[in-house]
Structure 1
Amino acid sequence: MANSKTKLANGGKKRKPQAEKENQKPQHNETELPAKKAKREVKNETEDAAPNNAVKKIDASHINKGIFKIFAKLQETSKLANVDKHVGEMIALLTNETDDDARLATCAYALKRLVRCTGADDMQSVALSACQIHRILRQVPHIDPLELLATLKRELHVSSQSKAKEESLAGVGQLITVMAILQSQHFEKPSKELIEQIYPLLISNLKGREYLVNMCVDIMTESFQQLSPKLFEAHVWPLLQLELNKPLSALKLPQCDLLLAIHLLYPKLLSRKQLESSLWRNQPQYAQLFDLYLNNSAIPSDDVCTRLAKFVSHKANGELYKTFVQHVESQLPLRHNTAKGFVIRTLAYVLIHSADGNSELFSPSLIQMLIQELATARQLKPSEKVKPSQLQLREICLEFEHTLLLSFEHHLQQDASKVKLLRSLLDVELQLDSVTQTPRITSQLLGQLNAEGVKEMLQFYSQKLINANEELYKMHGEHCLKQLQQLLFNPKLTEPKEHLNLILLTASFHVNESGVACEPKEASAFSRQSAARCEEILYSYLLRKPSKSVDLLTTLVDRLRSTLQALNALLEQQDESKVRAKLTPELKQAWLKIKQLLLNEKANSKSTTSSISSAFDALILCLGLSIYTPNCSAPIELLNDLFICKENALKATKKKGKEEMKWQDVLTDLLLQLLVQKGHFWRELVNAAGGALMPQLNRDNLEQLLVVLDMSKNPLGDKQDDEDDAEGDEEADDDEDEDEQSSDDEDDDNDDDEEDDDAEEEEDEEEDDDEEGATNLELIRENVRKALLAENNNDGDDDMNDASSVDWNDVDEAEGERLNLALEQAFQSFKPKGGSGGQGKKAKNKQQTKSERINATTLLHFRVRVLDLVELYIQKQPEMESLLDALISVFYVYEFCSNSADKSQQSLAEASKKLLRKFLNQKMSFDSSQSIDKQAIVDAIELFIKPEQVEDPKKSQKPQQKQQPINAKKKGDVAEWRNKCVAYLVSQFDESDATKTPVWSLLQCYLADWAERRNSPHSLASFDAILQSQWKGIPQLAASLAALLKGKLRNFRRQQILELLVKHSRRIANALTKEQRDELIETLTNYKAVGQKDGNLRTKLLKQLQPNK
């Protein structure tokens, strides 16, 4: 980089020391021109430069000396940011120069050095110089571009002969400098003189090396945009005709591309007939033209392919695009990456520039080639050692995908064109996402369709599903169902009744390959394997939120009614043997009640009763639908209970019985049972209907919900150990699906669960160990007895049948060895495996079984769902007692899960923390008909400030060694939320005089205990949270904290109090009255600081408490 900057500062040449220049002698080498030839070259150079002799010679005396310092800095710098800085200094120097002669001389000198650098053999130096020339032309006024061109021809002279490397580099410098002029304001309305100077210079570079010619053509075609047809025809076209008026066989790709550019920009000047007559003397041979592109040594650029695409796809050119497609098809399969890249890039721009109604845009063979190349590009990894052409082809494929999306978004307006193009791609590769680099490209394309297009694609995917055999369904079945679900949920689709009936039919009946209900043995692969998935799609559609501002409950009831009416029509038309559900007498009886409810659609006149009725109808209809969807069914008993609850709820004049179970209790238990059912939609259903039902419940019903959140108990009960594994798998899969589709309150990390043994499990394990130990002990005793009996039998005493009669004094040495061996074998046969001390068995007992893991996950999700119900209840009934009960219970759940070593509990911790945040923003309501007693709030504060009273009571029953170490961060988070809850409860005492409230004495007691005791269980963080709240007692609390400074305190406590007061000084100052401020300032003024830190804090606090003047 430093080397390039050196070249930049010295005009592209390295600076030599002065002594070296003086001592250097002229030496001849093999590359030096002969004398005569050198003279001839000098003569030609003089002749070429003759027209430019009008340029004023730079007067060194007028050059601002600051320019030399700037070039010196450019020579020394090595960072791009510094280069931009120094160029900015150069532009400022040229712009701020007041003397015209000095400015012109300095500018000419700077441009001369930069122009020289554009001819250097260093790409970075050339690029930087070009950018700097462009900036100077743009920002420095009164620059004559003709003088710059004269300097360019003089400093970077190029002969008309065959270009060597040095002349090619000079040609690059010429083109770059000319491009800077073309992109400046000097060429926005070019003069004739400027045109006559620029284009001969450009045309002279049409001969030479390939990269130079390509560069020249790109610059020329871009500059044509600024020329009017009149100027082009008068000053440019005559010069170009001399170079381009040749047959196609004598032209190369850049010259051909230049002709197409002229034809597209100036069709009247160069019509298609004139173009054909120029390229072919006889009959046009477009195959020859296309081969010129296909057989090029490199992939043509974007602009080249764009011009060819515009040419072949133009309406005026008739069947030319078909000719192009046929020629490409005749060359398939393409062997070279250059040809593949050209075809794909050209097809992309044909897609953009073709007519919207073009029905035959891509042929099947071209689409096959496209899909194949897209798949190859997706599999290619840039990190691997691959050819540059492969990487370029990969980028071209990605550009094609982006072009496809762009055409769907902006260019193609008719759904018919979009659907035909999309279906042609999907017919070759149904899972288009698997072969493209763009994620979810199919969904993005489907999202651009209107209602008609969505219906056609629904029909497309439906046919693919129904007609799929076993093998095809395994490959594409799940993908088609996902796309079908996305299309059904498209907000542009207002009436998806026809396609929803297919989902309903598959969920409730066995369906054959014709999409008709059939016997189970005739069912298609789609029916057998997708029935459960169709049930989920059906319920998800019914419970999705309406797009418009319509009540969800009303919309849900309407959807359920229409769906059940369609189901009833299907049941009347089909035989019972075709139904997937097992038809029992209880099911048929329940269905009769559903039919009766469908017939009765009279709305209740009372608005409150109407919402309750709608909520019950939603629950009843959804349960009615579930009895014919086996995988999502709920117990029929729940449906019968719902009818009874609805009847009692709608009887407003009915007296409440004290002995009988209230219907609210039954409803609450019913809602909890629904939340236990498999499927995330049950949670959505309960949340949708719960909002209207919660006002009818009472505090006892809230207790029913909070019992579930008791972390010391299992509300679901113990599962049987012999639970069916297949059913367990289904539950686990359903839990995983629920995690994916539910809110962010739940977590899907079930495989990394870490198990904690609770007291009941430990007792069971100890009992099992005792039983197993007793059994083993009996067997050992029996073996020992047999060993001793065997010893006695060896002595020949058959009457001896008891080992206790063995006389150990009579046993000789040989018999003793045999006895030892027998006893050793008796004991070793029951030696525990897995290490000494029973460690192996202990580890084995710790491992959870499959059913235990499923039960734990089910309980976790159940509690998360119950949190939703608790939130709904508090939103509808935020009374003091209810809110306190909910707040304490939810905080306990958060504390338990945060301190748990079981990672799976973290999802429940996040859900409880989210609910705590909502509780702390909930306004607590009080019963205005009675005198307000807030002693319950004080009791709740005592529970929060004394953490040991909020802990799990079962912790005391666990052995000490079972406790897991608590993460410090989690412990801090729990303490933070405990303090927030305390501050929220304290702020509920909104009396004007806070010192006369019950909470004041409690806070004073805690504050005194904290100040006096070294290891106080209370924390100053609780008072920190209180000072952040909106409590009206903040001034009194600040005065109490300041009063503690007068007493005997440890220095650390003093600093804590002062830091706390300084932290909340603004809030305290805003809450203080004039009298309170004066008293507080007096207290702080009389306080004698113990140390320098105390004094600084006191001074800062007094300054902030002063009233603003």
Structure 2
Amino acid sequence: MEETNGENQSKKFNRTVFDHFEHLISANEKNRIKGSLNILKHFNTVQEKDIEVNHALTRIIRGLGSSTNIPRTGFYTILVALLNFRNDISLSQIFDLMEKHLHKAGSNAKSENADILTGQILACGAIVRSNLWSKTTHEEKLKIVECILTASKERTYQGLLAFEFITNIFEKVEDKDFYALCPLLKDEVSKPLENYTLDSLYLLNNMKKKYPQLPKKLKSVIVYPEVLSEENIGKLCRILMIIPKLSSLQHPVYDIISIEAATSSNLNHFLEELDWYLDIPNRNKLLVATKIYTILLEKLEDVSVVPNILTKNFVHQMLNHFKTLKGKDQDVEFKQSINKFFEQLLEKLKPEDVNSKIKIAVLKKLLFSPGTFIFEKITHSKVVQNITWSLNVDGVKKLVAVYRGVIEGSEIVASQYGHGDYWLNNDKLYAAHLLIKLLNHKAVREENDWKTEQLIFLMELGLLKDTQVRIGSELSASLKTAFFGALNLKLAKLEQLHTILLSVVLHLNSKLTPENLETALRSTITIEQYEIWEKTISIITKIEKKKKKGGLRSVFLTLFLHLALLLFNDAKLAVDSLNELFVCYEKTKKSRKNSEAMDETAVEDASGEDVMWIEVVTDLFLNFLSQNSHLLRNIVNLVFPYLCENMTTSTIQQLVSVLDPENENPLSKGNNHSDEDDSDEESESEKEDESDDSNNEEDDDDDDNDMEDESANDKLRMALQKVLTSNGYQSDEESIDIDQMSDTEGEKLDKALADAFKQFRPNHGKRKKQNEDQRALTHFRVRVLDLIEIYLDSNPSMIITLEIMLPLLKTVEFSVRDEHQAPLLHRLKSCLKKLSNLKKFENTDGVDDAVLCDLLKSLLDKGTKNTWIVQDMREQISHCCIFTIKCSDLLSNAEATPKKVKKRLKNSIVELIRNELDTYFNKRECATPFLVFKNLLKISWDGNLTLVTTILKYLFDANVKVFKKSQGLELVLSFYTNQRYLRSNTEKIREALNESHEEFSNNAITLFKSLCETERKVPSEKFLCNMFKLLVALKTSVLNIECMKWPAIAESVREFMSTVTLSKEAKTAFNKLCACLNVSNIVRHNPVVTSSTNNDEKATKGAKEKKKNKKTKNKEKLKLKKEAKELRLQSLSEGFKSLDFAVADDEVTMETNEESEEDSNNKSKKQKKRKSSENSVEGEKFNDVNTTKKSKKKRKNSENAESGTAIVNGVIESHNKKKKHKT
């Protein structure tokens, strides 16, 4: 063997490859794999270094005995791979290393010995799963098995690991070797079943899996061929249910036993035995049962057994455990386990071929016994609803029969609560609600006769006395409420509702006579009310006999049927409403020209005023909406779409008036605005006077509110002006360039502006909690908005739509101020969005140029009020303005509109917008939202040509603020990116803007050239960025603008860019511009002195201040260190205060005074250094004192006294030296 410098080369280890062993213990799996691959690459290419391989094996074997799983995993993985790659590793080599490095020792702790044995199991397992196993002899195989079995008896958790490897051996050995191995396993599988563990069961099942039909040779070893037999099930369940720790739930034996039990004939016995262990509450047992039941549901073939899985104790324990979960104790593990069980239960019952009897049996288990009607409420699940929703027609009807049995008392009671033979009233009422839900089930959508039968059943229980079901008055009152809730049926056609309600009404009418009202009804009605009932029945019958019942007849029939039944729930409301309906119906009959159409006629009300019938019906609807009744609200929403074509301006105003914020209580019928503090003894005349006064006060309040808004804006403006002037901006004309500010100035200005805005921000709803009346009013207004949205969907007339818009916007302004109006604000925004998106109208009657101009002016006047409110409403104001302009376009394009009106309309609208645009750019106090102009320029409207021409002039106006110019650039950019409009009128737009383009080109060139001059103020980067973007849009526009001087623009822009340094965004815009102009974007930087020099000076000054502040901070740190040192020295010298050395004390005090005077008079660096050196010397002396003190404590008292004297003399000597040194 070749040697170099007397050293054997084969003994040199590759240190680099052994560094990869560190990756084997990494928690990151990718790192472990990477390290293993690197090690394998090395040992796969190097075949001669046996010592290196042996060293690597030693490290791997030792690593298998680690105390944590991550290193074990890494070393086990590399060992298996290495045994597969290397053929020169023998079994004896592995066992030798195991005996040397993985052996138990008496001096080791029990945990260390357990880790060593685990390493032995892993080493043997690596042999089993590698190619080395196939090279072993029969005796060596037995040795490996014996090693695994011996090592697995130290700890319980080692059993599963050992038996997993033995199971792998079963798969690799032949019958002869298997029979030879069985005697080694006999002690584990032949012991009594009550001594079995989960690991023993796992081993037994794997042995049986090898030979399902046990040969004679194995019968002496496997004494329990069938663990699910009648005599063994009890012992088996004990092994499964009583677990040492919760992690045992992950044992694979649960899957094996559950899968076997799913097809066993003893499944029901198995379920009974499991349920027996759940008799006493135990969380672990409940989790075990849940896991087994979940697997059973997944593997079960006979669906009819599913109800049996919901055993009594299991459901009880599940519900009781849910009840204990309160607050933060949510037991996530238990919930996840139960949810998996519910999911598997639903999945098993989901197929359509599952019999409805099975589903109903499951529902009975959950709702009746052993469950409860509030099962879903307790478990926070929807398992009952989902199972119910999967029923077919027959299943729904059978389930309703079950619920009726509960209400009637015929259903057998076997509940956990021990009700005996009677259901509680709560159970019956809950069953009634579940029955009502089934009336809207998708499977019985067309079963109208069956629905009628159920409604009659509920009606008799809630309204009539003479029924076969014995129920108390309390339950009957609840059932009556439930019945009226059941009338809210979801049907495809209104005719189906008529059929059902007519049958119910006629059935009730057959039970009543004027003589038996008190005996037949639970809540009797008066004779007058009964006469109203008879009159209603008569009208209903007449309408029903008509051949054609569409249109208004259908609406009135629906209202009469519902209000007739309402007589027995809210008689006063029903009587008043029916009397109004009688009049309206009679008047519509007289004015009807044919059976399909009705004209609006006036009816004379009690006060003698002529009122349209539709107004009466609308007022009736508002009354219904104000009631706390879901049924009445649904009635209104049901019939209102049929009345939209009859709506007039006055009726819409009725609806919109409810939304008026000034109407504080539209729910009350009277207009009493008197104060609440007024006494009841005051006369009516006094109240009227007070109401008049209050009305006048309200008008004054409105004016005051406007004045407050304006004064608030003025105060805010003055505060901002004060902030800006105090920060170095002396005039209003001086623009603020944020980009050129230093960090210190920016932070200071930010804080000042934030304080100003916080001080003058309006109180957005920070008030007391809403009371019940205010909350009811909010929800009432939301319901009215539902009607307005329904009307907007009915192709309304333009004039009514426009009249709706402003009141809605006014309500938005009110809602923005109050945080409690969030639901109303959300619906208002939705309603306004729907309104602004309308494109078709029934007619344009009543709309002319004056109406649209006045409306648009009113919308734009919103900008003169409170700035904050307007900004919050900017989207709604913008949508409304654009909608108004679109209406003017529709009117202009209508053939019926006169030419003069068309011309006047277009000119007036354009002039109005242009004037507002002038105000926006010229007046600071204009609060018109910028979004109005931006969105307007994005639509296809010819008036935008005038607006763009106006804006282009303001871009270079010296009197316009820079930020307004930046906004103007954004507006023009929005116009030139409006491709839809530009492509539709390319020639027209090019000709109209030709002169403006030339002027813009010259102004742009002049601007950039002037910016290159010395002492010229550079605009903000936002302005420059928008300018570059606009030039790109003009160059790439479909207008193909040729009148602009693009070469001169390119030259001036490049020359300007050579003098400044801009941000990344501005540079990107500049690069795009250069690409469009086909010029290079690379310019030679040649900066000039601009007005930004002042900012540079400020920045330099700020840098000096920072440096000065840094020095100050350093001095403060040194001072703190010095104080800490003095405190430390003082604490070290505390032991000398009891000694009486007055002379020394006086001398020290004098020295201290002299030092302080000298320090105050001298400030030179030499004196400071001298002082610090003196302090250090003094500190050293005191440290010596402290050290001496500690060392002397262990000596005798006489020695302590002597040492104390010496120490004090040392202190005095130190001070004397200091004094001489200073002198």
**TM-score normalised by L of structure 2:** 0.61
Q: How does 1:896-915 map to 2 (within 5 A)?
A: 896-900=814-818, 903-915=819-831
Q: Tell me whether 1:686 sits opposite 2:615 in the alignment.
A: no
Judged with a 3 Å threshold, the aligned counterparts in structure 2 of structure 1 residues 247 and 595 are, in CA distance, closer, same or farther, namely farther
CA contact (8 A) 2:949 2:993 kept: no
Residue aligning to 1:702: 652
Q: Distance in 1 between matches of 2:397 and 2:1035?
A: 72
Q: Distance in 1 between matches of 2:465 and 2:41?
A: 83
Q: Distance in 2 between matches of 1:305 and 1:202?
A: 25
Judged with a 3 Å threshold, the aligned counterparts in structure 2 of structure 1 residues 861 and 381 are, in CA distance, closer, same or farther, namely closer
CA contact (8 A) 2:102 2:120 kept: no
Of 1013, 1024, 1030, the residue aligned with 2:923 is: 1013
Task: List runs of 5+ in structure 2 lacking aligned partners.
Answer: 1-8, 414-418, 604-609, 688-766, 894-901, 1008-1016, 1038-1075, 1077-1223
Judged with a 3 Å threshold, the aligned counterparts in structure 2 of structure 1 residues 483 and 908 are, in CA distance, closer, same or farther, namely same
Q: What one-letter code is carried by the residue in structure 1 that aligns with 2:565?
A: L
The offset of 1:720, in angstroms, is 9.1
Of 412, 417, 439, the residue aligned with 2:381 is: 439
The offset of 1:695, in angstroms, is 1.4
Residue aligning to 1:457: 399
CA contact (8 A) 1:675 1:682 kept: yes
Q: Distance in 1 between matches of 2:199 and 2:322?
A: 28
The offset of 1:1011, in angstroms, is 2.1
CA contact (8 A) 1:461 1:484 kept: yes
Residue aligning to 1:711: 661
CA contact (8 A) 1:894 1:909 kept: yes
Residue aligning to 2:854: 939
User: Alignment partner of 2:1028: what SS?
Assistant: helix
The offset of 1:915, in angstroms, is 0.6
Judged with a 3 Å threshold, the aligned counterparts in structure 2 of structure 1 residues 771 and 509 are, in CA distance, closer, same or farther, namely same
CA contact (8 A) 2:65 2:115 kept: yes
Residue aligning to 2:794: 876
Residue aligning to 2:839: 923
CA contact (8 A) 1:508 1:628 kept: no
Judged with a 3 Å threshold, the aligned counterparts in structure 2 of structure 1 residues 218 and 880 are, in CA distance, closer, same or farther, namely farther
Residue aligning to 1:1097: 1026
Residue aligning to 1:119: 65
Whose relative contact order is higher, 1 or 2, with alpha carbons under 8 Å and at least 6 apart? 1
Q: Which moved more, 1:478-487 or 1:421-430?
A: 478-487
Judged with a 3 Å threshold, the aligned counterparts in structure 2 of structure 1 residues 925 and 352 are, in CA distance, closer, same or farther, namely closer
**TM-score normalised by L of structure 1:** 0.66
CA contact (8 A) 1:119 1:172 kept: yes
The offset of 1:484, in angstroms, is 3.2
Q: How does 1:182-581 map to 2 (within 5 A)?
A: 204-206=147-149, 207-216=152-161, 219=164, 239-240=181-182, 242-244=184-186, 246-248=190-192, 251-263=196-208, 267-269=212-214, 278-279=223-224, 286-298=233-245, 300-301=248-249, 303-315=252-264, 318=265, 320-324=266-270, 327=273, 333-334=279-280, 341-343=287-289, 345-354=291-300, 356=302, 358=304, 362=308, 366-368=311-313, 370-376=315-321, 378-380=323-325, 400-401=341-342, 403-409=344-350, 413-425=354-366, 426-433=368-375, 437-467=379-409, 473=424, 476=427, 479-494=430-445, 495=447, 501-507=453-459, 510=462, 516=468, 523=472, 525-536=474-485, 538-540=486-488, 542=489, 544=490, 546=491, 550=492, 552-568=493-509, 576=517, 577-579=519-521, 580=523
The offset of 1:885, in angstroms, is 0.5
Judged with a 3 Å threshold, the aligned counterparts in structure 2 of structure 1 residues 108 and 884 are, in CA distance, closer, same or farther, namely farther
Residues 218-275 of structure 1, C-alpha deviation per residue, up to 9 Å, x if partnerless?
7469969x96xx9886765763564145243575442233323554686345899969
Residue aligning to 1:816: none
Q: What one-letter code is carried by the residue in structure 2 that aligns with 1:485?
A: I
CA contact (8 A) 1:591 1:624 kept: no
Residues 493-513 of structure 1, C-alpha deviation per residue, up to 9 Å, x if partnerless?
444855764554444655799
CA contact (8 A) 1:70 1:86 kept: no
Residues 378-418 of structure 1, C-alpha deviation per residue, up to 9 Å, x if partnerless?
4156967x9xxx99778766655555445444799333233
CA contact (8 A) 2:833 2:879 kept: no
Q: Tell me whether 1:643 sits opposite 2:569 in the alignment.
A: no
Q: What one-letter code is carried by the residue in structure 2 that aligns with 1:371?
A: H
Residues 882-904 of structure 1, C-alpha deviation per residue, up to 9 Å, x if partnerless?
1111111111112122224xx54
The offset of 1:694, in angstroms, is 0.6
The offset of 1:945, in angstroms, is 0.9
Residue aligning to 1:663: 613
Residue aligning to 1:1084: 1000
Residues 678-719 of structure 1, C-alpha deviation per residue, up to 9 Å, x if partnerless?
312222222222222211323333223223333323674747
Residue aligning to 2:675: 761
The offset of 1:1083, in angstroms, is 3.7
Q: Distance in 1 between matches of 2:995 and 2:466?
A: 90
Give the paired residue count. 882
The offset of 1:1005, in angstroms, is 1.0
User: Alignment partner of 2:873: what SS?
Assistant: helix
Q: What one-letter code is carried by the residue in structure 2 that aligns with 1:490?
A: H
Residue aligning to 2:115: 169
Judged with a 3 Å threshold, the aligned counterparts in structure 2 of structure 1 residues 1011 and 483 are, in CA distance, closer, same or farther, namely same
Residue aligning to 1:838: none
The offset of 1:942, in angstroms, is 0.7
Q: How does 1:743-754 map to 2 (within 5 A)?
A: none
Judged with a 3 Å threshold, the aligned counterparts in structure 2 of structure 1 residues 285 and 553 are, in CA distance, closer, same or farther, namely closer
Q: What one-letter code is carried by the residue in structure 1 that aligns with 2:363?
A: L
Q: What one-letter code is carried by the residue in structure 2 that aligns with 1:935?
A: A
User: Alignment partner of 1:429: what SS?
Assistant: coil
The offset of 1:641, in angstroms, is 3.8
Q: Distance in 2 between matches of 1:854 and 1:460?
A: 40
Q: Distance in 1 between matches of 2:1001 and 2:1027?
A: 8
Of 800, 807, 811, the residue aligned with 1:893 is: 811
The offset of 1:87, in angstroms, is 4.8
The offset of 1:946, in angstroms, is 0.6
User: Alignment partner of 1:430: what SS?
Assistant: coil
CA contact (8 A) 1:675 1:862 kept: yes
Q: What one-letter code is carried by the residue in structure 1 that aligns with 2:560?
A: I
Residue aligning to 1:825: none
Q: Tell me whether 1:627 sits opposite 2:541 in the alignment.
A: no
Judged with a 3 Å threshold, the aligned counterparts in structure 2 of structure 1 residues 462 and 217 are, in CA distance, closer, same or farther, namely farther
Residue aligning to 1:1003: 913
Judged with a 3 Å threshold, the aligned counterparts in structure 2 of structure 1 residues 432 and 601 are, in CA distance, closer, same or farther, namely closer
User: Alignment partner of 2:977: what SS?
Assistant: helix
Q: Tell me whether 1:1057 sits opposite 2:1057 in the alignment.
A: no
The offset of 1:345, in angstroms, is 4.1
Q: Tell me whether 1:584 sits opposite 2:527 in the alignment.
A: yes
Q: Distance in 2 between matches of 1:455 and 1:448?
A: 13
The offset of 1:169, in angstroms, is 2.8
The offset of 1:916, in angstroms, is 0.9
Residue aligning to 1:985: 884
Q: Distance in 2 between matches of 1:411 and 1:275?
A: 49
Q: What one-letter code is carried by the residue in structure 2 that aligns with 1:433?
A: F
Judged with a 3 Å threshold, the aligned counterparts in structure 2 of structure 1 residues 297 and 1016 are, in CA distance, closer, same or farther, namely closer
Q: Distance in 2 between matches of 1:1086 and 1:1077?
A: 14
Task: List runs of 5+ in structure 1 lacking aligned partners.
Answer: 1-57, 722-757, 773-846, 952-965
Residue aligning to 1:738: none
Q: What one-letter code is carried by the residue in structure 1 that aligns with 2:783?
A: R
Residue aligning to 1:975: 874
User: Alignment partner of 1:691: what SS?
Assistant: helix
Judged with a 3 Å threshold, the aligned counterparts in structure 2 of structure 1 residues 450 and 149 are, in CA distance, closer, same or farther, namely farther
